[in-house]
Amino acid sequence: MRRIIIAVCMLILLVIAVLQIMESRRTASPLGDPNHELASLVSDFVAEDTSIHNCVLSVMKGDGSFSWTGAAGVARQDGGVPMTADTPFSTASITKLFTATAVMRLYEEGKLSLNDPMAQYLSDDLIDGIHIYKGKDYSREITIRQLLSHTSGIADYYIEKPEGGKSLFEMFLEDPARKWSVDDTIEWARTKLKPNFPPGTDASYSDTNFQLLGKIIEKITGKPLHVVFEEFFFRPLSLDHTWLVGLSQPRSKATAAPADVFYGDRNISEIRTNGSYWADGGIISTAQECITFLKALNGGKLIRPETLRLMHNWHTLQFPLEYGYGTMYFKLPRLIRMVIKIPPLWGHSGSSGSFLYYSVDYDLYLAGTINQTKSKIQPFRLMGSAIQIIQSKD
């Protein structure tokens, strides 16, 4: 019943978004400059929605024929620092795409099998009892594939609540200065929360899955996760303004401080550095460098094309999203696509309002953020409007 209600609500929101986008298309000039129209789109997003304090958007055609990045709003509230195209931001769960790609690279190198149980790599102290469902302990049966695809059934440490208690995110909000470790987040899921279903029988998004995958990466490589990211991605791709919060630093000394993140009217930037955001959501980057990563992934520079196709083994997650192995797939219902042609997109979103997607139909990359955790539909509205502007000029 809960999933049906969520699906209906999401459909209503999508219809509203479609109507808003259609209205924006009526006022856009087909002969206008796309750079100017995109700039207006971003500035209007901040001006018209008081909950959005800053926004950045980057778009790039795969063949390099068009590229644009722009920003609006105030990046840092304490000093009134303006948001720019180069301002880093919390990518949040876009990090999962990096983590999953690292796992698939180790898979290509023969250092793991997707069917390996996580217990092969993780200590008993870390995982024993993390999945006891209706009296049966599945903790030692859960596979790497199930962690990657959110089909493990392990509870989400971040938003799920213990009976009669608060979620860990709510506790973050109550005491933003408190420090948490990655082990704390796994322990919370193991001791405070109940699993959702037997492994492999359903799908449910869980940040805990990716904390465990980060631990597996460290075990196999013998290196800290931030070093693995540096060696696999940041250095080879020259991502000089990208780092794992609290554990590494941007390679460029000229990198600005990350933009503020909001939960409604509340600035929650402090909790993003409390130590818990890691393999599940700890990367800081820029919109342009996010596209550099996704373009390299899509172009076979990080893993082989057949491995990427394996990551795109889609299954239903939560309308309108499907999930593969660390990758999201956004596809509107056919009737809505008949009204406005927002194409299917693959990539990943983040709880902070971040997004990184690729359109196969239009060979178009999109990345950015609105840094507002309460606006789930707005990033897709922004991407849809940007796509319509670019396609109207082709």
pLDDT tens string, the chain, 394 residues long: the values are 344 434 444 554 555 455 454 444 434 444 578 999 999 999 999 999 999 999 999 999 999 999 999 999 999 999 899 999 999 999 999 999 999 999 999 999 999 999 999 999 999 999 999 999 999 999 999 999 999 999 999 999 999 999 999 999 999 999 999 999 999 999 999 999 999 999 999 999 999 999 999 999 999 999 999 999 999 999 999 999 999 999 999 999 889 999 999 999 999 999 999 999 999 999 999 999 999 999 999 999 999 999 999 999 999 998 889 999 999 999 988 777 666 668 999 999 999 999 999 999 999 999 999 999 988 889 999 999 999 999 877 6
Locus of tokens 């800081």: 284
Could you give the angle at which helices 2-27 and 378-391 cross, rounded to 10 degrees?
40
- Copy the structure tokens of residue 59: 């778009």
Q: Identify which of 159, 113, 149 has the alpha carbon closest to the alpha carbon of residue 276.
A: 159
In angstroms, the Cα distances linking 125 to 119, 134, 140, 187 are 11, 21, 12, 9
Bridge partner residues of 117 (DSSP):
143
Could you give the angle at which helices 207-221 and 95-108 cross, rounded to 10 degrees?
40
In angstroms, the Cα distances linking 333 to 5, 10, 202, 338 are 17, 12, 22, 9
- Copy the structure tokens of residue 342: 């927002």
Helix, strand or coil, per DSSP, at residue 366: strand
What pLDDT, on the 0 to 100 scale, is given for residue 394? 67
What pLDDT, on the 0 to 100 scale, is given for residue 392? 78
Neighbours of 1 (CB within 10 A): 5
Bridge partner residues of 283 (DSSP):
244
Helix, strand or coil, per DSSP, at residue 212: helix
- Global pTM? 0.93
Q: Identify which of 43, 94, 58, 167 has the alpha carbon closest to the alpha carbon of residue 352.
A: 94
What pLDDT, on the 0 to 100 scale, is given for residue 155? 98
Q: HSE (CB half, 13 Å, CA atoms) of 199?
A: 23
What pLDDT, on the 0 to 100 scale, is given for residue 340? 64
What pLDDT, on the 0 to 100 scale, is given for residue 264? 95
What DSSP string runs through 155-167?
A: --TTT---TTS--
Q: HSE (CB half, 13 Å, CA atoms) of 383?
A: 32
What DSSP string runs through 231-294?
A: IIIITTTT-TT-EETTT---S-TTPPPPPP-EETTEE-GGGGGSS--STTT-EEE-HHHHHHHH
Q: Identify which of 294, 268, 273 has the alpha carbon closest to the alpha carbon of residue 100.
A: 294
What pLDDT, on the 0 to 100 scale, is given for residue 14? 54
Phi, psi values for residue 260, rounded to 5° = -70, 150
What pLDDT, on the 0 to 100 scale, is given for residue 10? 53
What pLDDT, on the 0 to 100 scale, is given for residue 342? 81
- Copy the structure tokens of residue 145: 């594939």
- Return the ∠ at Cα 394 (arms to 35 and 34), rounded to 5°: 10
What pLDDT, on the 0 to 100 scale, is given for residue 91? 98
Could you give the angle at which helices 287-298 and 95-108 cross, rounded to 10 degrees?
30
What pLDDT, on the 0 to 100 scale, is given for residue 336? 74
Who's near 347: CB < 8 A, 6+ residues apart? 94, 97, 294, 327, 328, 355, 356, 357, 358
What pLDDT, on the 0 to 100 scale, is given for residue 17? 52
